[in-house]
Amino acid sequence: MSIDIFWRIPTHGEPSSHRSRRPFRGDWFPGDDGQRQLGLAGGGDDGFTYIDYLAEIARAAEISGFQGGLLPSFPMTDEPWAISSFLARETRTFRFMIAFQPGFLNPVTAARMTASLQRATGGRTLYNIVTGGGGPAQLWWGDSVGHDDRYARTAEFLDVLRGVWNGRGSFSHRGKFFSVENAGLPETLANESFPEIYFSGSSDAALICAAKHADYYLSWLEPSAQLADKFARVKERTAQLGRRIKCAVRVDVVARATEEEAWREVSRGFENADPALVADFKGGPGSTGDSVGVARQGGLRPRTLNSYRDLIIEPNVWSGFTLLRGGQTNGIVGSYEQVAEKLDQLVQLGADAFILASTPHLEEAYRVGEEVLPLLRGRSGAAPLRAVG
């Protein structure tokens, strides 16, 4: 069985390296979501918009052997549905992994959007279903449904979506969150394939929902034993339902020709990190939401933090990535061989797919595609696979 490898699309601008916040690509102002800079290069309105840069990354990813890319959605980012439809025509093989929260769309609308995007891209759409970090952020989105109820809503949404997809005009449902009568896809879209579902969420409610609905259970990188346990639990739960589920890891990598070079990159980034951010980083999680995934990562943080070395939690695993950019905090650092080996270890722990990322996403798509992916042994553990395409 081959390993599916995706890249990530930075929907929130990005610095031009891990070493420093500046210069910054995109009209975001580095470190300050309240400001914007004009033009992509910060030199005034140049007629380009951020989608022009995202198009470059998507093409780099498809050219260098990635299946596609995850398009994350957060309050401060651009939106994946927009990005996917805008880039449909100028990509060839790139698969658009759209992150969205089911509560925000009518499932019949979502079905028709997805089927149209499938038609526009020749079937290159898939989902990353997110059920929300909770707390004030959910109300910011206009969503007041509580944590466990949101997973019930996600489950119902996916049931209805699938029902509509296969409904041929006769699917009906009366539920707690959604109702529909005599629904289906238009005749012209009825033969499009249903998107694969990557599912995020670390709580018990999430695992139950994933077991029933997901094709892939997606986790951030966690310490090996913890991750192996999580994958085993979700696979076991899914097996109880008579289904199979695959597991995926979403992780940043810093891969260089030598291990020294890779750590030098991280060390420079750590030295240039915002001191306030570093002070906040020590101890518990930094979120006020009800995300179990965030809490699981926060629990790993050290009490003293004098060097980037204090954040090495396993060989070739550094837990300070959130100091360099937003998002999850554990990532893989090492030589090309070491990064490939670490990914292979994750395959042995149960991973069937990866969503990789590195900054800057354009150049690093080529580097990782050319230098790391060809070294992966994958499931067989034998001869390296050629890059997955």
Partner 1 sequence: MSIEFIWQLPTGVSDPRGTRFNYLDYLHQVARAADLSGFDGIQIQNDPQGDESWIVAGYLARSTRHVRLLTEFDASRGSAVYAAKNAVSYQRYSRGRFAWQIGTGGSTEQRRAQGDFANDGDVIPRIEEFITVARGVLTSGSYSFKGKYFEVLNGGFKGPLSNSPVPRIYLSGNTPEAYQLSSRVADVHVFDAVSRDQLEAEIRKLEDLGTRRPHLGLRLSLVARETETEARADAAHYPGRPGLVGSYAQLATQLADYVKMGIGSFIVTAAPHLEEAYRIGEHILPAVRRLLSPSGRDAA
* Secondary structure element (H or E) that encloses residue 125, with its range: strand 125-129
> Toward partner 1, which CB reaches closer, 45 or 260?
45
Closest C-alpha among 7, 172, 37, 21 to residue 97: 7
The number of angstroms, rounded, from the C-alpha of 58 to the middle of its chain's C-alpha atoms is 14
> Toward partner 1, which CB reaches closer, 65 or 69?
69
What's the closest the beta carbon of residue 9 comes to partner 1, in angstroms?
Answer: 12
Alpha carbon distance 85, 142 (integer Å): 24
> Toward partner 1, which CB reaches closer, 73 or 297?
73
Confirm if 138 and 149 have CB atoms less than 8 A apart: no
What's the closest the beta carbon of residue 37 comes to partner 1, in angstroms?
Answer: 8
Alpha carbon distance 84, 138 (integer Å): 24
> Toward partner 1, which CB reaches closer, 101 or 338?
101
**DSSP 8-state symbol, 26:** S
Alpha carbon distance 330, 319 (integer Å): 4
Angle at 84 between CA 329 and CA 188, to 5 degrees: 140
Alpha carbon distance 106, 173 (integer Å): 13
Residue 23, preceding peptide bond in cis (omega within 30° of 0): yes
> Toward partner 1, which CB reaches closer, 109 or 258?
109
What's the closest the beta carbon of residue 88 comes to partner 1, in angstroms?
Answer: 5
Alpha carbon distance 124, 107 (integer Å): 19
Q: Take residue 309 and report the two structure tokens written for it.
A: 């070395």
What's the closest the beta carbon of residue 235 comes to partner 1, in angstroms?
Answer: 32
What's the closest the beta carbon of residue 34 comes to partner 1, in angstroms?
Answer: 5
CA of 18: how far to CAs of 15, 33, 309, 319, 369, in Å? 7, 19, 16, 14, 18
At residue 22, what is the residue type? R
Alpha carbon distance 133, 152 (integer Å): 15
> Toward partner 1, which CB reaches closer, 52 or 236?
52
> Toward partner 1, which CB reaches closer, 143 or 314?
143
Residues of the shown chain interacting with partner 1 in the complex, contacts defined by CB under 8 A: 13, 26-29, 32-36, 49-51, 75-76, 78-79, 81-90, 103-110, 112-113, 115-117, 119-120, 122, 136, 139-144, 160, 164, 169, 178-184, 186-189
> Toward partner 1, which CB reaches closer, 74 or 366?
74
What's the closest the beta carbon of residue 93 comes to partner 1, in angstroms?
Answer: 15
Confirm if 202 and 218 have CB atoms less than 8 A apart: no
> Toward partner 1, which CB reaches closer, 119 or 379?
119
What's the closest the beta carbon of residue 173 comes to partner 1, in angstroms?
Answer: 9
What's the closest the beta carbon of residue 6 comes to partner 1, in angstroms?
Answer: 21
Q: Take residue 238 and report the two structure tokens written for it.
A: 């899914």
Confirm if 318 and 251 have CB atoms less than 8 A apart: no
Strands 317-318 and 95-100: unpaired
What's the closest the beta carbon of residue 141 comes to partner 1, in angstroms?
Answer: 6
